[in-house]
Structure 1
Amino acid sequence: MLGKLDQTQMETLLQQQVTGHIGCHADGVTYIVPVNYVYSAPYVYCHSAKGKKIEMMRRNPNVCFQVDEIRSIFNWQSVVAWGIFEEVTDVEESERLMQGLIHRIMPLANDPGDHPSHGITENDYDIGNGVDLIIYKIHLEKMTGRFEHH
């Protein structure tokens, strides 16, 4: 059976998952990339090093965010949302969001050791491993959800 997810089901899926995909578009190029995230309505919170995704979202902050749970080819659910990229520049907000990301991601890591490129390390001075981490949020303005169950 194919169907549409209601608002509560979409919110639940967004809260349960930790990896989604961001689609961005700038200068005639579309780019889709997986990201780790934390969801707290109406925002998706993420972090990244500088690179193609950040450059493109700075040029065009209109993005698409997708998350799914696939149990089998005929048993899945998916949410596609559209929103606005916003870089977090406030130090206190950035630190709070980074801690939230760490607490959400670390329990799912196979190796709980240091991951400085994700801001996860025993030594604060190792964070980023020479990489400036950028904390950003996507304000979700519209979303749709679908499912298939047999």
Structure 2
Amino acid sequence: MLGDLNKRELLDLIENQVIGRLGCHTDGETYIVPVNYVYRDNAIYLHSGKGKKVDMMRANPKVCFQVDEIKDTFRWKSAILWGNSIELSSEERQQAMQGIIHRIMPLTNRPSEEPSHGIKPELHDNIIVFKIELTDISGKYETHDDY
């Protein structure tokens, strides 16, 4: 059976995942890349080093974000989110980065060997943190009770 995820199912999906795909578009080019993220207060928070996605979000803050949970070909959930990216600074940047680290680190196999999400402390100032303020969200699912 195919269907639409309701609001609670969408939020559960987004809150329980840690990897999503960021879609950026500028100058006629679309770029999609997987990123670690944390969801909080109707926003997606993510971080990156300098590069293509950062350049594209700075040029065009309108982005798309996709999250899914796939059990197999016929049992999955997927959410598409749209919003505007905002580059964070100062205290808000630091809080977002800590939120990302605290969400992701318990999921690693070697947390004691990967402090600060594997980012060397001397490189923390080079990390760029974005907030995607969500403007729209939708989701679909497929399930089969006979499996």
TM over 0.5: yes
Segments of 5+ residues of structure 2 without an aligned counterpart are: none
**Runs of 4+ off more than 4 Å:** 118-121
Q: TM (normalized to structure 1)?
A: 0.89
In the aligned structure 2, how far is the partner of 1:18 from the partner of 1:32?
16
Partner residue in 2 for 1:43? 43
Task: Determine whether 1:141 maps to 2:135.
Answer: yes
Segments of 5+ residues of structure 1 without an aligned counterpart are: none
In the aligned structure 1, how far is the partner of 2:118 from the partner of 2:49?
10
1:86 Cα deviation from its structure 2 partner: 0.4
Partner residue in 1 for 2:103? 104
1:96 Cα deviation from its structure 2 partner: 1.2
Q: TM (normalized to structure 2)?
A: 0.91
Coordinate RMSD, CA, aligned: 1.6
Q: How does 1:112-127 map to 2 (within 5 A)?
A: 112=111, 113-114=113-114, 118=117, 120=119, 125-127=121-123
Matching residue's letter, 1:106: M
Q: How does 1:17-96 map to 2 (within 5 A)?
A: 17-89=17-89, 91-96=90-95
Q: How does 1:6-25 map to 2 (within 5 A)?
A: 6-25=6-25
Identity among equivalent pairs (%) = 51
The count of residues paired between Structure 1 and Structure 2 equals 143
